[in-house]
Amino acid sequence: MKRAMCSEKVSQRLTWSCSAVFAYLFVSLFFRMYPTTFVSVEEDFAYDIIRNDCACQHENVIYDFCYRLPTNTSIKGRRFDCKYIAHLQNLGLLSNQSTVDFQNHYMPAPRFVTAISENHFEEGLTLIANIRKIWKTEWIFVYDLG
**Residue 130: its pLDDT value, please?**
94
**Residue 114: its pLDDT value, please?**
94
Distance of alpha carbon 54 from the chain centroid: 19
* Residues 100 and 107: beta-carbon distance below 8 Å: yes
Q: Is 99 exposed, middle or buried (0-12, 13-18, 19+ CB in 10 A)?
A: middle
Note if the pTM is more than 0.85. Answer: no
**Residue 128: its pLDDT value, please?**
93
**CA angle, 65 then 70 then 80, to 5°:** 15
For residues 38 and 141, the model is more confident at: 141
**Residue 6: its pLDDT value, please?**
53
pLDDT(78) > 50:
yes
